[in-house]
Amino acid sequence: MLVYTSDLKKLGEGKEVSLRGWVHRYRKLGENKIFIVIRDVKGIAQCVVKKTSVSEKTWSNAENLYIESSLIVRGNLKKDERAPTGVEVVVKEIEPICVGFPYPIQKDYSEEFLLDMRHLWVRSRKLQAIMKARHYIITYLREFLDNRGFFEITPPIFTVSGAEGGSEMFEVEYFGNKVFLTQSSQLYAEAMIFSLEKVYSLAPSFRAEKSRTRKHLTEFWHLEPEMAFYSQEDNMKLQEELVSYAANSLREEEELQSSLELLGVDKETLKISPPFKRIDYSKAIEIVNERGGKIEWGEDFGVDEERLLVEGEKAPIFITNFPSEIKAFYMKEDPKKPGTVLASDMLAPFEHGEIIGGSERISDYKELVEKMKRFGLREENYSWYLDLRKYGSVPHSGFGLGIERFVKYLLNLQHIRDAIPFPRTINRFYP
């Protein structure tokens, strides 16, 4: 019977099973015994090959394996307290699929080497656990929005109009024209709300940022919901409910318990619920300065300021009402606090920092044209976007959540590059 490594515990002593997978560990004990730890999608299992109880062929197959050789193993289950799952497979037969070559990841575990070997390192148990969790996290995010009546849309990646400031865009030659890789799908999501009212896109965004930090990628996956008739308050409510739903679903996911354990995730940190604390930007400036930082009104928060702001927090917090001049052109002014916008950043605790940026958008044509002028943007590059304010404009809001930042926070990862299989950073685009 072909089973997964995780099935072994449930099956009885003596049962005959076949396992299919890869050699994770390999150890020869004396002349007559070989221990092979097999890895498959579900986990690992210990197999023992005894020279005296297998055919010559199987013994020589076992002797010739390398780390990461692929194979099928047949044998009988035996209880063994020392084996990782409490049972081991006493091997009867080994059928190699690909013996291959000596595995290059042996002693050198330096970060740079592992990044060069990323195409192989994605098999490591740590990355396997992270990628499983990432899959589930994305599933919860979609599930939550789908249950609220959202439609998923698919925006273009080649664009001409930047959403977040033109200097950080990657240029692409497009049959003699100059286009850019999208920074954000927001402007297209905005176009779609006039048809579908509540939409989201999950697509890559590209940022030619020269930031060398543990939270910046040049290519990241971006979840961007956009909602007609939502105020900024409705927007923040949706965000805190979405984030809480994903965190708690992750905590409770049966399929992921061993992955969370392997990653050392403290499940208490995933017990979060709305409402999240809201701190006005002006108050946030005071807090930063009280806690030993140095920042003036009108400056944006960097990594250090974000760290001070979430000091002692157990759940994410919102910073609201940023000065208009330091935020994007499409954000609506707060009529109650002139000079500031109806926008929020969601900062995650434990030094993970910003995971969401959102705002209510300017829905009035004249107001948008004026603000674009003030920001030095060329109207002709945005004429289609301005059309949205000419024909049946409505109040609307939306936000962007960086998938890798979110995964990094929920799994408490040291570096954002481990939240994506093939990270793209300022000096890394291979493999």
Q: Tell me how far CA of residue 28 lies from CA of 59, 65, 72, 84, 335, in angstroms.
A: 12, 11, 19, 18, 74
**C-alpha span between 216 and 211 (Å, rounded):** 6
Q: How far is CA 146 from the centre of its chain?
A: 19
Copy the structure tokens of residue 201: 């896109």
Instruction: Give min distance, CB of 421 to ligand NSS, in A.
Output: 15
Minimum distance from residue 73 beta carbon to ligand NSS (Å): 41
Nearer to ligand NSS, 143 or 209 (CB): 209
Q: Which is nearer to ligand NSS, 88 or 226 (CB)?
A: 226
**How near is the Cβ of 398 to ligand NSS at its closest, in Å?**
5
CB of 44 to ligand NSS, least distance (A): 32
Compare residues 222 and 371 and give the one whose CB is closer to ligand NSS.
Answer: 222
Closer to ligand NSS by Cβ: residue 236 or 355? 355
C-beta of 61 vs 232, nearer to ligand NSS: 232
**366: number of Cβ within 10 Å:** 9
Question: What values do phi and psi take at 127, rounded to 5?
Answer: -65, -35
Phi, psi at 420, each rounded to 5°: -140, 140
Residue 130, both tokens: 């992270």
Q: How far is the CB of 219 from ligand NSS (least distance, A)?
A: 8
Can you spell out the DSSP letters for 312-324?
A: T-SS-EEEE--BG
Binding site for ligand NSS (CB under 6 A): 163-164, 184, 186, 207, 209, 216-217, 220, 222, 224, 354-358, 398-402, 404-405
The CB-side HSE value for 264 (13 A sphere, CA atoms) comes to 4
Let me know: does 371 contact 329? Beta carbons within 8 Å. yes
CB of 39 or CB of 216, closer to ligand NSS: 216
CB of 192 to ligand NSS, least distance (A): 12
